[in-house]
Amino acid sequence: MGINQSQMLTNRLNFTGNWFIDVGILGFINLMEEVYGWNLKKLEEELTKSQERVYYGYYPFAYFSKIPSNKFINKKIDEWKMDVKKMAYELENELNNKKYSKEEIFNKVWDDFICKLYKKWRWEGTRLPISTSFYTNFLFFNNSLDHNKQKNSLFNAISYSGKEETDILRKIDKTVNKLLPSTDDFPNIFYTNLESRIIHIPFLFVYLLCFIYGFIRVVNKNIVFYSNDIELCYKVNRRLRLMQEDGNKNKSNTILARIWGSLIDVLVEHKSEWSLQNMYIISYKRLDNQTQEGVEYIGIPKLQATILLDDKIREQLNRSIKIGEGETEYVWILEEFIKGNPLYPHIHQHIAYKIKSENSISFLLYPLIVDAKVLELRASSDNRVFSAPSSNYRNIVRDIKEEVRTVSYTIGLLKGIDDDIKQRKNLALALLDALQAEDKNMYMNILLHHLNAKNELCINYNLIKYLQEKIISNPTTFRVYGLALTMGLLSGGENDEQDR
């Protein structure tokens, strides 16, 4: 991971190619936007005017305004934020268009703004009452340091350039590396064993300290969408953050669905498979200094990227389905699709739950056909479809839409099997049991038994052709096509209820 970018920061921020550092850069941008209201463009303008003012002045105040201990502010977070905003405005007026050395800037901000803010809240101790769950006991968080040593520690951290071997370097390497999952956790990418001594990036520790601010907290997960394109990454995450904040009053499941939809919408605006293929979803269940839980690093493979660029298919995949009792028993089809997980098990579970709870089901034909076509393509490509280019990709969207029309027509025919919805429901339950058992013969016996009572269906060429090609002679996806027919017995079409 030899990163040598001593000129990385001029008037622009750039990513390094190391996702851990890059998420820290994103966190730095988020922090400055939260405290000063600067978007990426404005921040780069301020960097052009003076890097020293940004890193030694605006940043220290912003960072220390985020880390007072909960006990110190006594849950009065709104009042604290109001004081921070007021002093941030005063700080901008103080530093704007004035020439100070970096030492003068830092000393002024520490004494006249950081300490003043804490004193306003009746700080009288020997050290600033700060805490973080991520860098516990590191540098200025160490309980043994008084506020002067905290001050010196922060200054040294900001000033470190990676060119010298120092105690701060060894400490932060030790701190960061115990938080990084192993190669067993993330086998698809190498980023473990971070060595700061070979990373020559100005203000490296500023970014590492801002790592946690790159994430958005959504439904018990900390997520960030990462691309090596800083503008695209910032745009996507900013939109998601604003949407999540606006949706806090809504149910959490709705927020997550909107976030997934927003991610894809932003990327599709670029109309580029490259953008989709180079965007990763990084998820931590918890961001603290304990053993990490629920860590995921999800890429968007080329096949999924190709399919998601189609507006109709993307709309049909961006929906949630209820699979059981309880507020959390939902699955977002789009998320499962991006992860490369099969959709069939979730849709089967949804239909079974809805029948037994006597609720109307969602019509999920597009997701089922997408699932079928992906499975078929994987089988024809000897399971290498997600890692190797394929000329079949360019046809898959067309094939999905044509198959949807064919299956939809067949579903319309099968509905004539019985006019009584209760009888169709009983038939559907029996067919679901056969599919659950993966028993093709049982499925066909049950269906043919009911078809025998309808002579016009028994001799319908299109229906018989479907059963022969999609069920009887289909070892790969017969369950998917069988589930499509079963679902069709109970639903009215695309306008049926959508869970979320």
The domain spans of the chain are 19-212, 215-300, 324-500
Contact 25, 218 (CB under 8 A): no
Report CA torsion sign: 253, 254, 257, 263: negative
147's enclosing H/E stretch is helix 147-159
Report the pLDDT value the prediction gives residue 74, as an integer from 0 to 100: 82
What is the DSSP track for 332-371?
EHHHHHHTT--SHHHHHHHHHHHHHTT-PPP--HHHHHHH
Low-confidence ranges of the chain (pLDDT < 50): 1-9, 178-179, 181-183, 185-192, 383-390, 493-500
3-class SS at 84? Answer: helix
Contact 95, 53 (CB under 8 A): yes
Report the pLDDT value the prediction gives residue 308, as an integer from 0 to 100: 83
Report the pLDDT value the prediction gives residue 408, as an integer from 0 to 100: 92
222's enclosing H/E stretch is strand 221-227
What is the DSSP track for 19-62?
HHHHHHHHHHHHHHHHHH---HHHHHHHHHH-HHHIIIIIHHHH
Beta bridge partners of 280: 226, 299
Report the pLDDT value the prediction gives residue 147, as an integer from 0 to 100: 86
Residues 41-57: pLDDT tens digits?
Answer: 999 999 999 999 999 99
Report the pLDDT value the prediction gives residue 384, as an integer from 0 to 100: 45
Q: Which of 116, 99, 85, 5 is nearest to 52 (CA)?
A: 99
Report the pLDDT value the prediction gives residue 278, as an integer from 0 to 100: 66
